[in-house]
Copies of this chain bind each other. A is one copy, B any other.
Amino acid sequence: MSQNPSPRQIVQQQLPKQAQPGPQASAFAPSNIALCKYWGKRDKALNLPINPSLSVSLGQLGSRTELSPIDGAEDRVILNGEVQSLEGGFAAKVVSFLDLFRQPGSPRLQVDTHNNIPTAAGLASSASGFAALMLAVDKLYNFGLSPEQLSAFARLGSGSASRSIFEGFVEWQMGVRDDGMDSHARPLAQSWPNFRIGLLTLTSAAKSVGSRAGMQRTVDTAHLYQSWPLQAAADLERIHQAIEQQDFELLGATAEQNALSMHATMIASWPPLLYWQPESVAAMQQVWALREQGLPLYFTMDAGPNLKLLFQGQDQQAVLKAFPSLQVVAPFEAA
């Protein structure tokens, strides 16, 4: 891995020379929920995945980012109206990401990001955040990058940001190249108008282990992780088939087993990594009970305690009756 080019080298050799920032640029990118999860990296510096993944973007839910050059020696990062410390966390990652694209001496930037995602629902804001940032950078410097480049570069900020560049169903192909330029997402042609996602917020307790660290612990310590790439490959095939045939039960069952298998690899890690809360188990049991009663209702979960329900438009009332606080997203319907 040490012989691989650095992220900055990879980016710089694809940018036009001497790009100067315009006065301002703004872009939006949607959040996305993976039906076949990204879990495990083959290259940590470049966020290259061990398996391909497939997601659905959340339409109007996501991040809007505005960039503008500023005077001074430091960038200025504002998240949901609050100026962030550059010492760590989100702002430090944003500055590192901007540095991939800048020449020394290029002006510092103000990054003003607003997420309209319910933070407590555990939706990864880094995916939409870095995708929106990438789109805004491309506009600000007028780089004219291709969709594939935008996706591959967004990946350098956060793996799943590669998928948030696009709308609808999106596949992130894992790629084989050392520089990762073939590890980018692409949108699928298919639409599914009555597909629904329900965001179920069970708890807003902060995660004790972030998903980046959790992913690494799983890869390093869970014997069962060795079977994960095989599972993901099989699930990806099935999800493609389900989308092709608009077979909702195949889609739901595959996505649910995929998510539970990902959590299984965490549970099999050491120290054990259990993102579930007691409320998570109760909600799963409720979904299974409703399904036993004939309701085609499935769920997926990311590295957190909350469930994302998967169902069809014709069942929305029944699902809302069981989960009154559910926030429903129709990813394929215009707002």
Contact surface of A with B, Cβ cutoff 8 Å: 222-228, 230-231, 234, 253, 256-257, 260-261, 263-265, 267-268, 270-272, 274, 276-282, 284-285, 288
Contact = CB atoms under 8 A, between A and B. Distances in A.
Contact of A264 (B267, B271, B277, B278): B267
29 contacts: A222-B261, A222-B264, A223-B230, A223-B261, A224-B224, A224-B261, A224-B264, A224-B268, A226-B226, A226-B227, A226-B230, A227-B227, A253-B270, A256-B272, A257-B268, A257-B270, A260-B267, A261-B267, A264-B265, A264-B268, A274-B281, A274-B284, A274-B285, A276-B281, A277-B281, A278-B278, A278-B279, A278-B281, A278-B282
Contacts of A276: 281
A38 to B, nearest CB: 17
- The winner among A268, A270, A277 for most chain B CB atoms within 10 A is A268
A280 B253 CA distance: 25
A281 B278 CA distance: 5
Contact of A234 (B223, B253, B271): B223
Copies in the complex: 2
A234 B274 CA distance: 22
Contacts of A230: 223, 226
Nearest to A226: B227
Contacts of A226: 226-227, 230
Leading 7 A-B pairs by shortest Cβ distance: A278-B278, A264-B264, A223-B231, A261-B268, A264-B268, A224-B224, A227-B227
A114 to B, nearest CB: 34
A226 to B, nearest CB: 5
A228 to B, nearest CB: 7
A281 B222 CA distance: 20
Contacts of A264: 222, 224, 264-265, 267-268
A281 B283 CA distance: 13
A305 to B, nearest CB: 10
A260 B253 contact: no
Given A227-B227, A264-B264, A276-B281, 16 more contacts: A222-B261, A222-B264, A223-B227, A223-B228, A223-B231, A223-B261, A224-B265, A226-B226, A257-B272, A260-B268, A260-B272, A263-B267, A264-B267, A271-B288, A272-B284, A278-B278
